[in-house]
Structure 1
Amino acid sequence: MSTPVKGDGRSQRWQAHRTARRAEFVEAAVRAVEAVGPDASIADIAREAGVSKPVLYRYFADKAELHAEVGRWGAELVLDRVVSAVLAPATARARIDAGVAAYLDTIAEHPQTFLLLSTQHAGSADPLADGKQRAATKLARIIGSGLRQLGVDSAGAEPWAFGMVGMAVSVGQWWLDRRTMSRAAVADYLSGFIWHALSGAADEYGVPLSALDPPDNVRPLDPGRQA
């Protein structure tokens, strides 16, 4: 019986180095896009990273792959903040308000980057595709958990979650591009829409969404439970 061959330590170190360098270049891309705008070129990004374009292309096959990595970075940032907000112990309405506020605050911190991600993929792969899938899946688990706590059918959790993510991306793009309304006003409209959609669905089941409010339910919803 042959002895298993251990992994090459040099290969593992190189992979770790490559992963770290890609993360550095993604951060440089975000800085370049924020400084130059959504049309920032590979040359702009390489300059911000302090490397040449050929070096950048050693880590990313093309601009689309780099944009996809920026998309994952942006989606992770939004997801971490929104999930933290909506899982905090509070009333159902307060959780929705907090989640919307966290989303708008995050994209407002990096407006050019999120405009790039939401508008600059015509004719190519959507750089936010993976992030939207992950966000909707996580949101579906949270909604599904809440519906089950209410004792009603949770089958609608997934389509509702995907619908809300799509709406949030569209509203965010519109707001960043137009700026015809204050962040507070956009937050009120968006959270109000989501609240009325979810509370209306709960009312149809004969159980008000407020049944999830403290003190009867002081524990945050568990996203680990499958919808």
Structure 2
Amino acid sequence: MQSGSTDVNGPGPSDGTAASAATDRRRARWADHREQRRQDLVAAAVRALLRHGPQVDMDQVAATAGVSKPVLYRYFADKSQLWLAVSEVVAARVVEAVAPAIEQVREERDLVRATIDAYLGVLESEPALYRFLMHQSGHPGVHQVIAGSGRRVAAGLARVIGDRLRALGLDAGPAEPWAYGLVGFVQAVGDWWTSHGQPIRREALTDYLTTLLWSGIEGVRRSADLPRELTRAHERITP
């Protein structure tokens, strides 16, 4: 009979498509579950790092996560891969703190100060995370993460500085090197500050660095010999 021939021939094309779709959904759910589990383990590694310091080991991470080391290795091929994932989290925190500060200010000197203060604020609140990041900086992957976060901050700075220069009728060409120079300078000082136990108050260090860095930018502006009406508005922010 006709119905019998259908049984013999097996499921039609629509049945096969439905089965394939169901398999894809199961795979997607498993992938989502695995990614969530991986994020949970990275979060546990961050907690272990805050608890035990930059020299934290895999045993301490596993204990903090409440799993065995073999479970960790199901999600991370080795210790370096886990540390790389942690570094991405730490670097993202720095960018998330600094980027809004850059966008919110409208005066040039305040822009420099806000960038420095936001960066030092992350270091002050979580020095162990920053020391860990610097301790792992020799690892090629971690080095790329640090460099990438620096580029993101510098790109935001360059855009804002360029807008300020153009508003003054100046060449915006120096904006990018200024931005990269500011980021590199503050990173180096921040490394010194945390490795020496923050011997200077954050507010004081922010003032020192702002004055030093702004003097260079202000000097370029003054050397352009702008008309008096353009410079008058900026004199109030000259240190």
Normalising to structure 1: TM-score of the pair?
A: 0.79
CA 155–95 in structure 1, closer or farther in 2 if over 3 Å, else same: closer
- Structure 2 residue corresponding to 1:197, chosen from 213, 216, 233: 216
Letter in 2 for 1:191: T
Between the two structures, name the one with larger relative contact order (CA 8 Å, sep ≥ 6): 1
For residue 64 of structure 1, give the secondary structure of its aligned residue in structure 2: helix
For residue 199 of structure 2, give the secondary structure of its aligned residue in structure 1: coil
- Given that 1:71 and 1:131 are in contact with CA atoms closer than 8 Å, whether structure 2 keeps it comes out as no
Which residue does the alignment assign to 2:67?
51
- Structure 1 residue corresponding to 2:121, chosen from 59, 84, 105: 105
Which residue does the alignment assign to 1:219?
none
For residue 77 of structure 1, give the secondary structure of its aligned residue in structure 2: helix
| Structure 1: tracts of 5 or more residues without a match | 214-227
Give the whole-Å Cα distance in 2 for the aligned partners of 1:64 and 1:188. 38
Number of residue pairs aligned between Structure 1 and Structure 2:
211
Which residue does the alignment assign to 1:92?
108
Matching of residue 171 in structure 1 with residue 201 in structure 2: no
- Given that 2:105 and 2:114 are in contact with CA atoms closer than 8 Å, whether structure 1 keeps it comes out as no
RMSD: 2.8
Show the 5 A alignment for 1:104-183.
Answer: 104-122=120-138, 124-125=140-141, 126=143, 127-178=145-196, 179-183=198-202
Normalising to structure 2: TM-score of the pair?
A: 0.75
- Given that 1:119 and 1:173 are in contact with CA atoms closer than 8 Å, whether structure 2 keeps it comes out as no
The alignment-based identity, stated in percent, is 38
CA 146–33 in structure 1, closer or farther in 2 if over 3 Å, else same: same
Give the whole-Å Cα distance in 1 for the aligned partners of 2:171 and 2:53. 45
Stretch moving more, 169-178 or 42-51: 42-51
Structure (1 or 2) with the greater helix fraction: 2
For residue 121 of structure 1, give the secondary structure of its aligned residue in structure 2: coil
Larger Rg: 2
- Structure 1 residue corresponding to 2:89, chosen from 73, 76, 98: 73
For residue 87 of structure 1, give the secondary structure of its aligned residue in structure 2: helix
- Given that 1:72 and 1:130 are in contact with CA atoms closer than 8 Å, whether structure 2 keeps it comes out as no
